[in-house]
Amino acid sequence: MNTLVINKEDLKHNIEKIKEYAQKSGKDDNGNSLKIIAVVKANGYGLGIVEFTKFLIDNGISNFAVATIEEALKLRQAGIKEEILMLSATAIEEDIKSLIENNITLTVGSSQDIEVVDKIGKELNKKIKVHLKIDTGFGRYGFIYSQKEKMIEAIKETQNIKIEGTFTHFSLSFFDEKYTKEQFKRFIDTIEVLKMNDINPGMLHVCNSSAFIKYPNMHLNAVRIGSAFLGRLAFQDHIGLKKIAHLESQVCEIKELPKGFNIGYSNTYTTKKTTKVAIVPVGYMNGMNITNGKDMFRKVDKLRYFVGAFKDFFKKEALYVKINDQKCKVLGRVGTYHITCDITGKDIKIGDKVTIRSKYKVCRL
């Protein structure tokens, strides 16, 4: 059985560090402090969406964001009454009605979204709270930044929508400073055009966890924080975050392999001598050895990754776990559900505890 072990004191530490760093931003033009929107998508990054959200509330966080309708409704069903923003846009009428009924703030990012939301608002005789999404170069939800006239026309035709915020999402803020700055400029230019057309954009937020730490000049009115609460970033932070969790498993099998025996997929490792191994039931499905960003780079970076992967095929894995506090090397490639560990010369038995920690690699425990 595999267990994710969470250190609540380290999580509390991270929350306080993030709040302290946010306070350093000072006040916005309206005299308001920087607002922290906690993103609790993907089942609270594996911590349990309800449990994680309640812990954040107990530690002074009062604004939340989710990625799916199911996540939003689960929080409401759990009795959570705080502000919740649905980050994904939709023009599906049934879904929009369900979100409105549960007091979830919508995201709109197209003429179709706005048309349907405005229609439902008219039927309900109420103004529907929304955040406006600007696509500054991500290619998902949002009005394309260069199509400002289309966006303004769609907004001005509505009577039953209240814009409470406007935002965009950075695609490479942890890695590409030049492109992040370009996205930010596109966003600010769009906001200026909205204001020139007497459209109040409301609260402005562009920073995810990485941008929050790397670009304090981009904080604006609010920031969206997710992985930073877990101390899980693709770069070394400077605000003192801690990794809050590790994975625990058990040795489920022990065997002795002869010299010249292949281990794992693609035969990337062959024993050099008689080797005693422990089989541990963790793998890719548990987030073992999943690396940030392999699908997030430019063409040249993708090429570098594949070259690196090709080289890795011919060299030893440099991945370790601890079994009874003894460092043990993982042999061969990580499987979907299992790893093989070298325990030659070590006193290890079936059922012994395996502890898996990582600097950056374990991204989905």
Provide the token pair at 310.
């090709």
**41 is an active site residue:** yes
Q: Where are the alpha helices (DSSP H) in 24-87?
A: 41-45, 49-58, 69-77
**Are 241 and 11 within 8 A, CB to CB?**
no
Answer positive or negative: Cα dihedral of 67, 73, 75, 80: positive
**How far apart are alpha carbons 330 and 325 in whole angstroms?**
15
Beta carbons of 316 and 267 less than 8 angstroms apart: no
Please tell me which residue in 12, 19, 41, 276 is annotated as part of the active site: 41
* Alpha helix segments (H runs only) across 59-110: 69-77, 93-101
Residues 6+ apart with CB under 8 A from 84: 64, 65, 66, 72, 75, 76, 103, 104, 105
* List 8, 242, 259, 265, catalytic entry: 265
Active site residue 81: no
Q: Is 174 exposed, middle or buried (0-12, 13-18, 19+ CB in 10 A)?
A: buried
Q: Which residues are catalytic?
A: 41, 265
